Amino acid sequence: MELPQKPWLACKAWWWGGLRRPSCAILLGTMALLGLSWLQTTPSRVAVVPAITPPAPDDVGAGPVRSCSSFYRPGRSRGVVFSIERFGGVGDGKASNTEAFRRAMDHLRKFGDKGGSQLNVPKGRWVTGSFNLTSNFTLFLEKGAVILGSQDPKEWPVIEALPSYGRGRERWGGRHISLIHGDGLTDVVITGQNGSIDGQGRMWWDMWWNRTLERTRGHLLELVNSNNILISNLTFLNSPFWTIHPVYCSDVVIKNLTVLAPLHSPNTDGIDPDSSTNVCIEDCYIESGDDLVAVKSGWDQYGISMARPSSNIVIRRVSGTTPTCSGVGIGSEMSGGISNVVVEDLHVWDSAAAVRVKTDMGRGGYVSNITITNVKMERVKIPIRFSRGSNDHPDEGWDRKALPRINGVYISNVFGLSIEKAPVLEGIKGAKFEGLCLRNVSLGGLGPEAKWRCEFVAGEAYDVSPVPCLQLRSNGSKSWCKHT
């Protein structure tokens, strides 16, 4: 069965028209026509560099569509272009291409300071283990190209834990490397004509479920200590763990993606910017077994010590569903600090929460200047949630006195249908959860007995239905929230 072609595009009409989700048949037909509009078709196996349209300046451009894609600064066309077939690749869905991809990257690394390079992946099914990218490089998946993650765990080697986590997120010690990996890179483009990268994650999910997992699962794509990154026009499927994970990165654009995983698959977050700055996530459709997007910055004492925040992050026109988690999550790994985040035009349905701020004792860190606006949701359990975590710590060295600080969370223009419960805002005793501002929030489907649940939080609310909790009713004539 052919994969859906950019369902997020079709969702735009549904978003504003109030229609139900389009069928797969409609998506396939419509997206087949639209999927090639951003990149022009290039002949298979021909060494031609596809033209990448320079992004418009942030939040400006023709028409009403705003974009933050100028975070990525395109360089000149790549100096050389090769096909994976040149390095012995076979796209039959059976042969291992691990060595072919690694040979290709070893060869193309030589052109980093000579105009850069591009590796084309033609139509076919290309099984591979993990491989490392290089700088001044484009990975281009042609139409019909599918990269498949190896089913041999040994082809996902174990690497060191991230210093802001201190250990693997799930298990002691190191962690399995991502299928596509890069460390210390600059100017990397991962794009194509809606080709696919499929982690074939069920093997890893089974190990998680039956408790035979020895090391933390690998991501589908992880870039570390890298800058000037563009990831676009692709479908990512069935990640073993978090799908796309830029960590310690800057100037990252992630746009026009479809990210899919079974709704019951464990911890298959869609996009997780982590201790990164200047990150643009826009026009993405995500179905996963965890948060669609989660902003992170390190875990307890390790994140506090590294003090590498996530800041200047824009999440725009993201839509999708997750039955267990949230459309956009802040934390819970937020010990390095999270600030200056904008979320707008978010559409979530059949999910546990639309937006959620997750913290815990021992996290320390801060969350500040978060703006969330223009949110539409249907059949969501808890629309807006602040949660205290679940006593989740890397080891016994966590500091019980390290409390998070939350200040300046602005939520406006929220509309929900068939909502199950009123918002839940749970702070932590002794911590500062203040400066909350909610305006123009309408949550339908709740009965007259529905009441907000609030603890250890302070702020204001205007034009909010149902009536908010007492902690949000300090709305005097000099209100900072009312006139923001």
pLDDT score at 75: 85
The tens digit of pLDDT for each residue in 128-165 reads 999 999 999 999 999 999 999 999 999 999 999 999 99
pLDDT tops 90 at residue 58: no
| pLDDT tens digit sequence for 1-44 | 444 444 443 343 333 333 344 444 444 444 444 443 433 333 33
pLDDT band at 53 (very low <50, low <70, confident <90, very high): very low
Yes or no: say if 143 and 36 are a contact pair by the CB < 8 Å rule.
yes
Q: What is the mean pLDDT of residues 95-112?
A: 98
Q: In this predicted model, which residue has the larger pLDDT, 179 or 14?
A: 179
Residue 115's H or E segment, with its range, is: none
Pair 69, 56: CB distance under 8 Å: yes
Residue 124 has pLDDT above 80, yes or no: yes
- At 288-335, the pLDDT tens digits run 999 999 999 999 999 999 999 999 999 999 999 999 999 999 999 999
Share of the chain above pLDDT 70, in %: 86
pLDDT band, residue 478 (cuts 50/70/90) = low
Q: Are 296 and 272 in contact (CB under 8 A)?
A: yes
Using the predicted structure, report yes or no on whether residue 115 has a pLDDT greater than 70: yes
**Average pLDDT over all residues of the chain:** 89
Cα separation, 388 vs 396, whole angstroms: 19
Secondary structure (3-state) at 328: strand
Does residue 384 have a pLDDT over 50? Answer: yes
Q: pTM for this one?
A: 0.88
**Are 330 and 338 a contacting pair, CB within 8 Å?**
yes
Confidence class of residue 389 from pLDDT cuts 50, 70 and 90? confident
Is residue 64 packed enough to be buried (19+ CB in 10 Å), middle (13-18) or exposed (0-12)? exposed
pLDDT at 472: 94
pLDDT of residue 3: 43
- Three-point CA angle 42, 28, 288, nearest 5°: 100
Residue 110 has pLDDT above 50, yes or no: yes
Please write the tens of the pLDDT for every residue from 403-449: 999 999 999 999 999 999 999 999 999 999 999 999 999 999 998 88
> Computed over its alpha carbons, how large is the radius of gyration of the chain?
22
pLDDT of 59: 53
Element spanning 32, H or E? helix 24-34
What is the reported pLDDT for 473?
Answer: 82
Tell me which residues are annotated as active site. 290
Q: Which of 370, 357, 352 is nearest to 331 (CA)?
A: 357
pLDDT at residue 483 in the model: 77
Predicted confidence (pLDDT) at residue 65 exceeds the cutoff of 90: no
DSSP codes joined into one string, 359-388:
--TT---EEEEEEEEEEEEEEEEEEEEEE-
Q: Smallest Cα–Cα separation from 293: which of 240, 379, 351, 217?
A: 351
How crowded is residue 245: how many other Cβ atoms within 10 Å of its Cβ?
Answer: 26
Structure tokens at 261: 């995983």
Between 18 and 97, residue with greater pLDDT: 97
| pLDDT tens digits for range 337-380 | 999 999 999 999 999 999 999 999 999 999 999 999 999 999 99
Percentage with pLDDT > 90 across the chain = 82
| Reported confidence tier of residue 477, pLDDT bands at 50, 70, 90 | low
